[in-house]
Amino acid sequence: MISCLLTAALTMRGFEPKHCLAVRKTGPRFQSASRTNQGVSGHHNEANAGKRRAHRPCVFTFAGLVLFLLQISAVLAANTDKVTLLNGDIITCEIQRLERGILRVGTDSMGDLDIEWTDVVGITSEQHLLIETAEGIRYFGRLTGSDDPAFIKVQITEKEVREVARAQVVLITPIEEKLRDRLDLDLSLGYSYTKSSDVAQFTFGAHAGYRAQKYLLRFDATSIRTTQQDAPASRTQEAILDYRHFLKKRWFALATGGVQENTELGLDLRTFAGGGGGRNLIQTNRTELALTGSLTASHEEPTEGTDATDSLEANLGVEYRFFVFKQPKRDVLVQFALIPSLTESGRVRSNFNTRFKLELIKDFFWELQLFVTTDNQPPEGAVSDSDYGVITAFGYSL
């Protein structure tokens, strides 16, 4: 059938199939024939060259048609998953990801769709998937139809099949997932100005997460710059990279590093890196609660003076996240870290941050953030031993 399509397409373009065969005469046999006819005039050679140039479009047409057919077959093969909803509708699609109670699928006619996981009563897929439960148990396989809508059936091997309670499933992701489906990115900007005090504040935030089969990579960057007439500018900035390698029963190994600046606390530059571990105590389609612990080495340069400080610190943290994906989508994140120094006697730092995100229209959101940072032994040049602020910004989710 494909050969008939190729022949028809080439004929419509005005190229007979024999022209394609003529182009093949570039191998050793054709070259030998050319050497036996070296006495033929240059005019004859130019004519042959002209014919070869005339046949070149046939090659491009053939290659283009093959690529087109491959693309069509890939699309047709991808959209073979089926999702059955509470109202009886069946959606033929490509499963992209289940996370935080939302099943995202791709369709030919309606684009990407977000479906509440509680609205799903049946799901099948020929893709090789990772399925994770609230207990941290992971299954690898394909999804086959289950007779009980409260369960999904995972075909692990030809002989091994597991039924998993649908309400316990918190993550489904293809093993060969596309980069854009694994990556979450939020960008936000904010600006405020108070005329009476002549204070202007500019804020920028970038929050990215990349989840693979066995690890989670997160990057968070914030910048808060405050200017006021007859006063030095204040800067609070940080960029932190966080790597988590998943272990059994919701445990994970942790590696972290970053840079920070806080002129209010007399900190011109802090660089740090360390490692440890943690555990997800709660992991559902609405709530996540995790505890972390790590050791970090840090290097600090004060805003005044030239004496830099190197120290070893413990970092004890808790993270809580709550999300609602019914319109309007809402997301609450609360983070707290207690950081006692192991090499500077009596020094204790703390970081508290909470962020509320409200989706206004698709992918556009409004954000409210509160942060409090303390240091009972701040570097030389500090204005205070604490810094806090409230930030509002608008952003976009990719």
Per-residue pLDDT of 188-206, as tens digits, reads 999 988 887 788 999 999 9
Range with lowest mean pLDDT among 186-195, 331-340, 363-372: 186-195
Q: How confident is the model at residue 254 (pLDDT cuts 50, 70, 90)?
A: very high
Label residue 392 exposed, middle or buried (CB < 10 Å: 0-12, 13-18, 19+): middle
The reported pTM is 0.70
Q: Where does 89-160 have alpha helices with state H?
A: none
Residue 7 pLDDT greater than 80, yes or no: no
pLDDT, tens digit, 9 for 90 and up, residues 110-122: 888 889 899 999 9
How much is the pLDDT for 65?
53
Residue 54 gets the label, from left (phi > 0), alpha (psi -120 to 50) or beta, of: alpha
Report the distance separating Cα 46 and Cα 311, nearest Å. 79
- What's the one-letter identity of residue 397? S
Residue 168 DSSP class: G
pLDDT beyond 90 at 259: yes
